Amino acid sequence: MPDEQQISMNQSCIFIIFGGTGDLTHRKLLPALYKLQKHELLPDNFAVVSVGRRDKTDEGYREEAVASIQGSRKDASEEAVDPDILNRLIQRIYYRRVNFDDDHTAYRALQTCLEQLDRQYKTNGSRLFFLAVAPEYFGVIVTRLKERGMLNNRHGWQRVMIEKPFGSNLKTARELNRTITDALPESHIFRIDHYLGKEMIQNIMALRFGNSLFEPLWNHHYIDNIQITSNEMLGVESRGGYYEKAGICRDMLQNHLLQMLALVAMEPPVNLEPESIRDEKVKVLRALRPFNVDSAKQDIIRGQYGPGLRAGQPVPGYRDEERVDQNSMTDTFIALKAHVDNFRWAGVPFYIRAGKRMNRRVTQIVIEFKKLPGIEFFDNFKNQNPNLLVVEIQPNEGLFFQINAKKPGNELIMERIDLNYTQSSWVQTNSPEAYERLILEALRDNKSLFTRWDELEHSWQFVDSIENSFKHFTPDFPNYTAGSQGPMAALDLLRRDGRRWWEI
Ligand code: BG6
């Protein structure tokens, strides 16, 4: 049998989405399944069971799924949804009602349904569960599935994909991890950080380990500082209830931003096996210097947006968002100076920032190289710009490299040259979406795009050090206008070091 067919046989399964009526399923998971179907990456023997707390028929749910998939096109330039492909997917989507913390009755009914679909689709007991539910249900769902023997079928395989947030601090993350690992082995757990599924984040390794131009310079001898930014124009939308408990540290820093930092700062892995990559990322997270009250006061800028404008339209301040306390002290912005205390990065600041309701949407990593020392003695080269390498993650996907060269003409004067590679325009809108890739990799049993427990453990340790020090000072919120660059103090964080945020 050819390899490809073998792979596809191994991937045969039922994909069960807990949280099937939720926002994530409709905005991301169903469109991702459609794309996988379109690219013929779904196995033939495959069905989807969406599980939710509301009453719905299969037909009713399918209609909603069609609307979500059709509505998911980013813009008119994206190919229209093909009705035949859509129909092939929709026919194998089912809906079942389960109260997640229900006793065994609902889970028993679900199990019967899965067994019947197993016979129909020849999926041999293999299950890929996706927990797209509020975090308080992660533990109970996994426990119920275990109690019903649904995680240790004698036939096939069982895997569980778990959305973030994985806990709200180190203690609760440990408790959750204990519950989950009691129910199934680490090798069957796929903890999601959807940033790892983004095209340009995967490109970081290719860029670093595929270019003799960069890797020899990738250390404190040549790099002045690294800037990691993830700014959004959106506010908290309808997620005020969740966000009040999370804030930007738990929502973005603990996961997405620290994962980007780990990929940028890690040593070359011994090979590209998932465990080898994760071993190296863990070492970086362990080397992050924790904050204390003094260093937090000095090197962390907190922010919360007040009312302002988005695209010329007035938008409310955070405290006026739905399900947000009028006196909330939740952070919607953070900028900080972090240090990775190891040989490679001694003395190199990692400036990290993320914010909601900012003036532009941008996720990018800027590597600022040191200037050449001799340049001081070349009068005409005094206006030398630092070399910058920028990995543009979104909304543009690309690379940007800033170098200096001679300005054309009779004088020997230096000018800045920008080398720009825009992948998103080259591949049009074809870069796979993060969730498309994550589902595919979980079907393939490839864990490199998922976080291992010890990665989470060390990132929580770091974030706990920040959250604990926050208890000792009260910022004056709100302190930035929606649609602005965030608090002015975030600019000073670099200015006082003689640096600036690069807005590329
Ligand atoms: C999620 C956060 O993990 O990432 C959201 O919970 C945030 O608050 C989102 O908006 C950002 O993801 P993306 O892919 O739009 O950058």
CATH of the domain at 18: 3.40.50.720
DSSP state of 404: E
> Nearest-5° angle of CA 258, CA 465, CA 221?
50
- The Cα–Cα gap between 79 and 284 comes to 41
311 pLDDT above the threshold of 90: no
Q: What is the pLDDT of residue 426?
A: 47
Residues 145 and 228 in one domain: no
pLDDT tens figures, 405-415: 988 999 888 88
In the reported structure, the alpha carbon of residue 294 is separated from the centroid of ligand 1 by a whole-number distance in angstroms of 30
Which tops the pLDDT comparison, 473 or 268?
268
* 166, 251, 437: residue to mutate for ligand 1 pocket, most atoms within 8 A of CB: 251
Is residue 190 included in any domain, yes or no?
no
Instruction: Categorize the per-residue pLDDT at 154 as very low, low, confident or very high, splitting at 50, 70 and 90.
Output: confident
Residue after which a domain boundary falls, among 163, 179, 211: 163
If you count DSSP H runs as helices and E runs as strands, how many of each does the chain have, helices first?
Answer: 17, 19
CA distances from 80 to 36, 86, 395, 434, 436 (A): 15, 11, 21, 20, 18
Tell me, what's the pLDDT at 1?
Answer: 36
Confidence of residue 427 (pLDDT cuts 50, 70, 90): very low
The predicted structure's pLDDT at residue 424 = 67
Among the listed ranges 71-80, 225-234, 288-297, 341-350, which one has the minimum average pLDDT value?
A: 71-80
Q: How far is the CA of 212 from the centre of ligand 1 (A)?
A: 33
Residue that is last in its domain, among 108, 141, 163: 163
Centre of ligand 1 from the C-alpha of residue 471, in Å: 25
Ligand 1 atom nearest residue 255's Cα: 3
> DSSP label at 2?
-
Average pLDDT (15-39) is: 95
Best mutation site among 163, 194, 334, 394 for ligand 1 pocket (most ligand atoms within 8 Å of CB): 194
Identify the band that residue 431 occupies on the pLDDT scale cut at 50, 70 and 90: low
- Tell me, yes or no, whether 227 and 276 share the same domain: yes
Flag whether pLDDT at 380 surpasses 60: yes
Q: Considering the domain boundaries, does residue 189 fall inside one?
A: no
Largest Cα separation within the chain, whole Å, is 85
Residues 401 and 453 grouped into a single domain: yes
Q: Please, which pLDDT band fits residue 9 given cuts at 50, 70 and 90?
A: low
Residue type, 253: L
Which residue, of 141, 163, 185, is where some domain finishes?
Answer: 163
Q: Which pLDDT value is given to residue 72?
A: 84
pLDDT per position as a tens digit, 448-479: 899 999 999 999 999 999 999 999 989 999 99
Does ligand 1 lie within 6 Å of residue 455's CB atom?
no
24 and 133, same structural domain?
yes
Q: Which residues pair with 388 in a beta bridge?
A: 368, 402
Are residues 74 and 128 located together in one domain of the fold? yes
For residue 440, report the distance from its CA to the centre of ligand 1, in Å: 20
E-strand stretches of 114-164: 127-131, 158-162
**CA of 163 relative to ligand 1 center, distance in Å:** 12
**Helix or strand (DSSP H, E) at 283:** helix 274-287
Local structure of 451: helix, strand or coil: strand
Mean pLDDT of all residues belonging to the chain? 92
Residue 192: count other Cβ atoms within 10 Å of its Cβ.
Answer: 23
Q: Which atom of ligand 1 is nearest to the CA of 243?
A: 8
Is residue 152 helix, strand or coil? coil
Whether a cis peptide bond, with omega within 30° of 0, leads into 478 is yes
Query: Which pLDDT does position 375 carry in this prediction?
Result: 65
Tell me, using a 6 A CB cutoff, whether residue 193 lines ligand 1: no
State whether the beta carbon of 232 lies less than 6 angstroms from ligand 1: yes
Amino acid identity, residue 422?
Answer: T
What mean pLDDT comes out for the span 120-125? 95
pLDDT the model gives residue 116: 97
Query: Which of 162, 230, 232, 260 for a ligand 1 pocket mutation test, highest count of atoms within 8 Å of Cβ?
Result: 232
pTM score, two decimals? 0.92
DSSP state of 360: S
- Residues designated as active site: 256
Which residue puts its alpha carbon closest to atom 5 of ligand 1? 251
Q: What percent of the chain has pLDDT over 70?
A: 95
**In terms of residue numbers, what domain contains 12?**
3-163
In the chain, the amino acid numbered 180 is I
Confidence (pLDDT) at 433: 81
Which residue reads 């792979």 in tokens?
7
Per residue in 211-250, pLDDT tens?
A: 999 999 999 999 999 999 999 999 998 889 999 999 999 9
Q: Is 365 in the same domain as 460?
A: yes
Contact 181, 149 (CB under 8 A): no
Q: Are residues 216 and 133 in the same domain?
A: no
- Whether 2 shows a pLDDT value over 50: the answer reads no
Please count the structural domains in the chain.
2
Task: Write down the residue that tokens 């992948």 correspond to.
Answer: 423
For residues 488 and 335, the answer to whether their CB atoms sit within 8 Å is no
Q: Does one domain contain both 145 and 208?
A: no
Nearest by Cα to 390 from 426, 420, 427, 356: 420
CA dist., res. 265 & res. 219, Å (int) = 9
* C-alpha dihedral (140, 145, 151, 153), degrees to nearest 10: 170
Look at residue 60 and tell me whether its pLDDT is greater than 90: yes
CA distance 382 to 359: 32
